[in-house]
Amino acid sequence: MFSVLNLPNFITLLRIGAIPVFLILLVDERYTEALIVFILAGITDSLDGLLARWLDARTTLGAFIDPLADKLLLVSSFIILAFLGDIPRWLAVLVIMRDVIILIGYSVLFFVTGHAIEVRPTLIGKASTFFQLLTVIMALVALHNAAWQIPLLRDASELLAGATVTISGLQYLSRAFRWFNEQEEKLSTPESR
């Protein structure tokens, strides 16, 4: 099994499998358990990347499923927490719309050009992920124990998540348009005919 599916990819698949468990716990108001599962999922995110580098076990599958696992965990967290009223709905809409627009945009580019665009995380994209994670953790901590809530920090994380989500979304769109223009230029040059 591990010759086809290496250890880092297996850990990533475990993280994907933890998502429904996390959501069920959250909806069932078992906030402490949900917080523990979310934190463990975050640890596996760091662990699979570290192992992939350390074991020199990077794969095409891993490059696809690792960011997919992150997106599934964050987007589903934002949907449920916004539905429960623990995260502002405007922020959930921004997070979800950015990912939907990026997914649709890159899919359209692939179907139009026949080439896949390599998606590399940017610094602002990583900051966006950090602030999204922080926002979810702050909401889960507040659900676990309202006395542990720090409203100023929670508000700041929500605003920073919203700002970085918006900026990173615009940055990814800009990269996609630039890449598309490069592909069109390649097709229009005499050598490519």
Q: What is the pLDDT of residues 173-186, one digit of tens each?
A: 888 888 878 877 77
Question: Higher pLDDT residue, 139 or 192?
Answer: 139
Nearest CA to 133 out of 93, 169, 95, 89 is that of 95
Q: How many domains are contained in the chain?
A: 1
Q: How confident is the model at residue 1 (pLDDT cuts 50, 70, 90)?
A: very low
Is 176 contained in some domain?
yes
Is 1 contained in some domain?
no
Matching residue, tokens 């592909």: 183
Residue 138 pLDDT: 93
Is 57 contained in some domain?
yes
- State what percent of residues in the chain have pLDDT above 70: 93
Is 71 contained in some domain?
yes
Is 112 contained in some domain?
yes
What is the CATH number for 25? 1.20.120.1760
- Report, as an integer, the average pLDDT of 79-88: 95
Count how many Cα atoms sit within 13 Å of the Cα of residue 14 in the half-sphere of its side chain: 17
> Phi and psi of 5, rounded to 5°?
-120, 105
Is 2 contained in some domain?
no
pTM for this model (two decimals): 0.83
- State what percent of residues in the chain have pLDDT above 90: 50
Is 44 contained in some domain?
yes
Range of the domain at 138: 7-192
- Report, as an integer, the average pLDDT of 24-33: 95
